[in-house]
Amino acid sequence: MSGLKPDEDIEIVFTGLRPGEKLFEELSHKGENITPTQHPKIMRFVCEPLPLDDVKKHLERIVAQLHEAEPNQLKLLLKQAVPEYQPYLS
């Protein structure tokens, strides 16, 4: 499509947001600290990781349900592991 002109060679259709799409991205979450880097315009987020045993438990729950659960149920399991996740539930 290189070289083609929008609205002349290609029709552009604005569809609006689709399920799961966001208007903005969150760049930080609770518990993250911002620290400077050597570059004045680049900051680094630092947070305390979950204990490895907790991560393993979340993954085991998800894997156990992977082929049996409905998509909404899997999304809710992911939300338990990542509380900031806001799933689109159908």
Residues 62, 66: Cα–Cα separation, whole Å? 6
What's the pLDDT score for residue 66?
A: 94
What's the pLDDT score for residue 53?
A: 97
pTM of the model: 0.56
Residues 10, 27: Cα–Cα separation, whole Å? 34
What's the pLDDT score for residue 15?
A: 85
* Cβ-contact 48, 33 below 8 angstroms: no
Print pLDDT tens along the chain (90 aa): 788 888 888 888 888 888 878 777 666 666 678 889 999 988 888 878 889 999 999 999 999 999 999 999 999 999 999 888 888 888
